């Protein structure tokens, strides 16, 4: 008497690869934005402060520059955190695609 048996397994068909190095590629751009921002704000500061400018407009410009600097730094920090999360998710998705569910049906014949 022959019995048909079925088994389902998940097999990794391609080795895992760590994609976390992709973070550095993306961070390179945020670091470049930070450098450009810093250069710009230093230039603004040099123009406003080092030339001994005074008055309400100058104070307002200094405050606005500080506000924008803080905002941009917070935004870049948020982007870096999102990069970590996105790359981790990508790593998991790619790793998941390297596994395949297999269903094997075989004949179970008793040994004589």
Distances (CA, A) of 93 to 12, 89, 99, 112: 13, 6, 10, 47
Q: What is the pLDDT of residue 112?
A: 65
Task: Take residue 92 and report the two structure tokens written for it.
Answer: 């998991």
Alpha-carbon distance of 81 to 46, in angstroms, equals 32
Instruction: Report domain extents, the chain.
Output: 17-98
Residues of the chain with pLDDT under 70: 1-2, 49-51, 112
| Nearest partner of 19 among 97, 89, 80, 96, judged by Cα | 89
Alpha-carbon distance of 30 to 8, in angstroms, equals 45
Q: What is the pLDDT of residue 51?
A: 65
């Amino acid at each position: 008497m022959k019995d048909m048996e079925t088994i389902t397994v998940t097999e990794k068909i391609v080795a895992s690869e760590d994609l976390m190095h992709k973070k550095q590629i993306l961070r390179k751009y945020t670091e470049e934005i930070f450098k450009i921002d810093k250069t710009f704000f230093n230039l603004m500061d040099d123009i406003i402060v080092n030339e001994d400018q005074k008055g309400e407009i100058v104070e307002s410009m200094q405050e606005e520059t500080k506000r924008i600097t803080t905002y941009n730094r917070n935004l870049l920090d948020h982007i870096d955190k999102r990069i970590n999360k996105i790359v981790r998710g990508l790593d998991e998705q790619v790793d998941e695609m390297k596994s395949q569910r297999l269903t094997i049906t075989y004949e179970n014949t008793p040994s004589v």
